[in-house]
Amino acid sequence: MGTNYGDWLKEQREVAGLTQQQLAEAAVMTRTHIAHIEAGRRVPSREDARRLDNVLNTGNVLSRFLPQGEAAVADYFEAARLLEQQAVMIREFALSFVPGILQTERYARAVLSTSFPPVSEEECDRLVVTRLERAKVLDDPVTPVVWALLDEAVLRRRIGGPGVMAEQLNHLVRLAETGRIQVHVLPFALGVHPLLSNMLTLMWFEDQPPVAYGEGLWMGRVHDSPSIVREIQHRYDFALGNALPLKESLALLRATARDCERHDRSSHTEHGSAGGVA
């Protein structure tokens, strides 16, 4: 088998003389999903892989060699990571940190290097690479649709220092200005809101029901019960209704980034002056 799962699937499909549409129909999937798998943008579920094996007469190769387990993520997040790569819509709520798929490299490194117990520099590098790989879902200009609902605390906590934070906030602004994502801020003035307990991700798919993922300290869980997902969606919608509109949210992001930039310049000036005196 080749080193690329998607390339090998495409090769077997062509050997079988099938178009993407024909394979999708035979395997009870969508053509778009097949295209994403072949391009390496998505990973099939275990059941999808089993059906592909059956249609292509490839034994259990596609099921057995699902590209998983190599990414450096917490065990409890692995299922959510795979779903994240297949989603056509993602709605994030962040309480403390910028959501993983929206993080810059320096911000991600600042978050991951301060874990406890401490990790080695090599392990931190692995974690950062995985986080940046997750962010590649944004390389497609259309799918998935991404909404980011941020508690104001995410903006105010200067992870990695003012320079790193300014870069991260400007990254969010650029993504929103190009229309790639929607960003809304829940201001401190709002007080209590229904999502204060933990971070949250809602995901929708082309060919399976929506799921929700919630995470707290050292724990995370994927919820696929329709009633639970609906309840979480209602909470998200309620909080979103009380968030700042996009225009005002971007204005707050820009203003906070400028504050960070001024603080960063001031800090460098002070250090330079001190060095000159010495």
* Domain boundaries along the sequence of the chain: 4-65, 73-101+132-272
Mean pLDDT for the chain overall: 87
pLDDT given for residue 119 in this prediction: 75
Cα radius of gyration rounded to whole Å, the chain: 21
pTM reported for the whole predicted model: 0.72
Contact between 153 and 193 (Cβ < 8 Å): no
Q: Cα separation of 178 and 271, whole Å? A: 37
Q: Cα separation of 183 and 142, whole Å? A: 16
Beta strands (DSSP E) in 12-79 are: none
Share above pLDDT 90 across residues of the chain, in percent, rounded to a whole number: 56
Q: How far apart are the first and last CA of the chain?
A: 63
pLDDT given for residue 1 in this prediction: 43
Q: How confident is the model at residue 70 (pLDDT cuts 50, 70, 90)?
A: very low
Q: What is the pLDDT of residues 234-274, one digit of tens each?
A: 999 999 999 999 999 999 999 999 999 999 888 777 666 55
| Three-point CA angle 207, 195, 133, nearest 5° | 50
Contact between 87 and 134 (Cβ < 8 Å): no
CATH 3.30.870.10: does it fit domain 73-101+132-272?
yes
**Among 3-17, 37-51, 201-215, 238-252, whose mean pLDDT is lowest?**
37-51
Q: How confident is the model at residue 193 (pLDDT cuts 50, 70, 90)?
A: very high
Residue 237, Cβ density class (10 Å: 0-12 exposed, 13-18 middle, ≥19 buried): exposed
Q: Tell me the CATH class for 4-65.
A: mainly alpha
